């Protein structure tokens, strides 16, 4: 991975593991380090890496230790390795190209020759990996027209995710090749910008390989006013569900106000990728000390 990023002109960086805000994603909970002076272990190094973009670093990557409370299973560990990278003055197409190269390079380094074997099934890694929008995926595999699927994300989020988990993801898992799921409905934009020309969706993508979600990438939102509004909405949503409400990272917003260049980035689960390439059923099989062994 490091060699690939060096070839592409990236700077490897290290950012803090203890931060004043771990992010406000409704589905991620953080480990608190110091309640007296709110400090948390990172769920992602995203805020700090974007501050580097604003500070003039055009391309950066990091192999970061990340921590997420309540995540444990075949594809989750409370402490895990994340590969995260950002490209200034680039879009999601360039970052998806990086992602394809990473998967192919790691698979090759681990002995796979153009394909990996998952549960006895061959998954071809021929480039480029196909891309399908969330709307088209719902139309194809869940029997819901694309426009209706996009609208459903706003009107009935629970049903949207039930169809995603019960119909779309199993169909993607059965494919003999990886697939990028792109153009997520706007309510799931998080820190992604809305797609120019179609604000119903956002520039967000996920790569699925044999049913495993490997990454979550964005065309990055750089508007500080819109970003603050989203973070305030996230705080309200967390409070409404009785979840811990983390502070807003004012220095991150300050970096956006100073001027973050247009950019795209991605966060990829390294343990998941290694497990896939080795045909392991669980990421615990590729960790020296999975959570249950502590």
Write down the pLDDT at residue 34: 85
Task: Write out 34-101 in H/E/C secondary structure.
Answer: ECCCCEEECCCCHHHHHHHHHCCCCEEEEEEEEECECCCECCECCEEEEEEEEEECCCHHHHHHHHHH
Residue-wise pLDDT for 174-208, tens only, equals 999 999 999 999 999 989 999 999 999 999 999 99
Would you call 241 exposed, middle or buried from its count of C-beta atoms within 10 A (0-12, 13-18, 19+)? exposed
Write down the pLDDT at residue 79: 97
Q: Which residues are within 8 A (CB) of 66 and not within 5 positions of it... i.e. 6 or more apart?
A: 41, 42, 43, 44, 45, 79, 80, 81, 82
The proportion of the chain whose per-residue pLDDT surpasses 90, expressed as a percent, equals: 94
Domain 1-120+225-286 sits in CATH at 3.30.930.10
Residue-wise pLDDT for 91-100, tens only, equals 999 999 999 9
* Mean pLDDT of the residues in the chain: 96
End-to-end CA distance of the chain: 28
Q: Are 195 and 154 in contact (CB under 8 A)?
A: no
CA 149 to chain centre: 21
Instruction: For the chain, give every domain's residue range.
Output: 1-120+225-286
Answer positive or negative: Cα dihedral of 234, 237, 239, 244.
negative
Of 84, 34, 87, nearest in space to 62 by CA:
84
């Amino acid at each position: 991975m490091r060699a690939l990023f060096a070839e592409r002109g990236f700077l490897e960086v290290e950012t803090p593991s203890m931060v004043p805000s771990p992010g406000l994603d409704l589905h991620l909970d953080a480990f608190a380090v110091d309640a007296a002076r709110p400090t948390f272990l990172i769920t992602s190094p995203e805020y700090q890496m974007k501050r580097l973009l604003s500070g003039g670093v055009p391309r950066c990557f990091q192999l970061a230790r990340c921590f997420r409370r309540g995540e444990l299973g075949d594809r989750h560990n409370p402490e895990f390795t994340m590969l995260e990278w950002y490209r200034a003055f680039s879009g999601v197409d360039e970052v998806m190209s990086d992602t394809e190269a990473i998967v192919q390079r790691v698979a090759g380094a681990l002995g796979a020759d153009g394909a990996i074997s998952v549960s006895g099934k061959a998954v071809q890694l021929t480039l480029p990996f196909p891309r399908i929008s969330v709307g088209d995926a719902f139309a194809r595999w869940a029997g819901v027209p694309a426009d209706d699927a996009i609208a459903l994300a706003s009107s009935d989020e629970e049903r949207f995710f039930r169809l995603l988990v019960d119909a779309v993801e199993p169909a993607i898992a059965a494919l003999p090749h990886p697939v990028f799921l792109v153009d997520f409905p706007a309510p799931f934009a998080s820190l992604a910008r809305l797609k120019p020309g179609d604000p119903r969706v956002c520039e967000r993508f996920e790569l699925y390989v044999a049913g495993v979600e490997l990454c979550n990438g964005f065309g990055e939102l750089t508007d500080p006013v819109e970003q603050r509004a989203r973070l305030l909405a996230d705080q309200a949503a967390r409070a409404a569900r009785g979840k811990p409400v983390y502070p807003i990272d004012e220095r991150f917003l300050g970096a956006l106000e100073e001027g973050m260049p247009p950019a795209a980035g991605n966060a990829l689960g390294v343990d998941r990728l290694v497990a896939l390439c080795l045909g392991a059923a669980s990421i615990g099989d590729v960790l020296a000390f999975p959570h249950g062994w502590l």
